[in-house]
Copies of this chain bind each other. A is one copy, B any other.
Amino acid sequence: MLRIEFEDAKNWLDLLDAIRDIVEEAVFTATQEGLSLRAMDSARVAMIDLKLPVVYFPDFKIEEEKVSFAISVADMVKSLKGIKKGYRLVLELKENILRLEFIGKGRHAFEFPLLDISPESIPSLKLNFEAHVKIETDIIGNAIKNIEKFSDYIRFKATSDRLVLHGKSEKGRASSEFLRDELISLDVIKECEASYSTEYLMNILGRSELSEVTSIEFGNRMPLKATYTLAGEGEVSYYLAPRTETELE
């Protein structure tokens, strides 16, 4: 038996959206600790790591020690895109069905078939990042969107006093530079730079519906990690593999 309550149904919809940009189908795991999900995209370039501890939820009931359930996130996003603001949400697992009930003016229930997918075991990453940046989510999101018009890859470079993003192609060059005092924080253990796929960055950065602040960590030849801290100790992290030299034409 699993029954989870979200204070604001909008949060669940935003999380689905954040997951859907990485995977179409996903396996959630509920334990006495809370609800979590870890999934890699089909190209194995990006990973999403979602953690919603019990305190995140107004109500969290689980009888088993551990329950996993798989759903088509893409279908669910499509089916629920008309939901307006102002609803609580109760999510309930029933045999081969996930039932969502939106409670506000009226009770609006939706039942989705569970998928027959086993949870993939993805080891957690322990990385000693060389650069730690906190920046307003909108600001970094816009910078990515601007450079996107110029380049398929964006080079991130951190020095002791600034973060620089850079892209180029035959269309021209684009760059965005942020000095320390234009960032919320900048902590550079070692000057570093690495390139990441613009297409993935577009999905990962700029998600201001999750949090107004984004923590970005990266390093030489290391993945980029973007973390959104949610209310109630929840957290969404993305990992994005760096572009390797062999990919260069």
Contacts and interface: CB of A to CB of B under 8 A. Distances in A.
Contacts of A84: 142
A83 B113 CA distance: 42
A176 B108 contact: yes
A79 interface: yes
Nearest to A140: B106
A145 interface: yes
A123 interface: no
A177 B80 CA distance: 17
Contacts of A78: 149
A150 interface: yes
A109 B149 contact: no
Contacts of A31: none
Interface in A96-129: 97, 105-113
B82 A145 contact: yes
A14 B78 CA distance: 29
Contacts of A199: none
Given A171-B79, A172-B79, A108 B150 contact: no
Contacts of A175: 108-109
Interface in A137-177: 139, 142-143, 145-146, 148-150, 171-177
Interface string A48-92: 000000000000000000000000000100111111100000000
A6 interface: no
Contacts of A79: 149-150, 171-172, 174
Interface band, chain A: 35 or more
A191 interface: no
A108 B174 contact: yes
A78 B171 CA distance: 11
A182 interface: yes
A178 interface: yes
A150 B106 contact: no
Given A79-B149, A82-B142, A173 B106 contact: no
Given A82-B145, A83-B146, A172 B109 contact: no
A174 B112 CA distance: 9
B182 A106 contact: yes
